[in-house]
Amino acid sequence: MDNTPDDKILLVNNKIDELTRVARFLEELGEKWNLPDPLVFNLNLVMEEALANTILYGFSDDRNHTIEIQCSKSKSLISITIKDDGIEYDPTQKKDPDMSLPAGERPIGGLGIFLIKKIMDSVHYKRIDNINNLILTKNI
């Protein structure tokens, strides 16, 4: 058995349309790594939530920025690292929404980061040399 982790990197621009490429990238990864469809769905969701936040709110200028998505798989773990040079933002500090509220009182939005935290087994954030690093892992 080969125990070296398998690595894949995707670079995307800070444009919402890029999420379509991310979905395709994950589908291909799912096939290559033989991942079950529900896991591919969940990983796609997690990446979309993280990237949509960064793309929509993460930059204070109108310039093009490249966001790096690195996925790796070992025998028991999938790890996703998302790096961007946007505004310093630690999503792990965001307060969870109140799930006990009835529909009428539930705020519209604010679910994305909560979904990431619930789906993944670990969520870490590091700011290194002006780069946001969001490190997500899922046990498989």
Footprint of other proteins (CB under 8 A): 16-17, 19-20, 23, 37-38, 41-42, 44-45, 48-49, 52, 97, 99-100, 102-104, 106, 108-109, 111-112, 114-115, 118-119
Residue 77 or residue 119: which is nearer to other proteins going by CB?
A: 119
Q: Please, what is the minimum distance in Å from the beta carbon of residue 7 to other proteins?
A: 25
Q: Which is nearer to other proteins, 61 or 104 (CB)?
A: 104
Going by their DSSP bridges, the two strands 77-84 and 122-128 should be labelled as unpaired
> CA-CA distances (angstroms) from residue 114 to 23, 33, 65, 109, 131?
20, 27, 25, 11, 22
Closer residue to other proteins, CB minimum distance, 21 or 72? 21
CB of residue 115 to other proteins, shortest distance in Å:
6
Q: Where are the beta strands (DSSP E) in the chain?
A: 6-13, 66-73, 77-84, 122-128, 131-139
Question: Quick one: 62 or 102, whose CB is closer to other proteins?
Answer: 102
Q: Which of 1, 35, 3 is nearest to 138 (CA)?
A: 35
Closest CA to 132 of 59, 72, 63, 29: 59
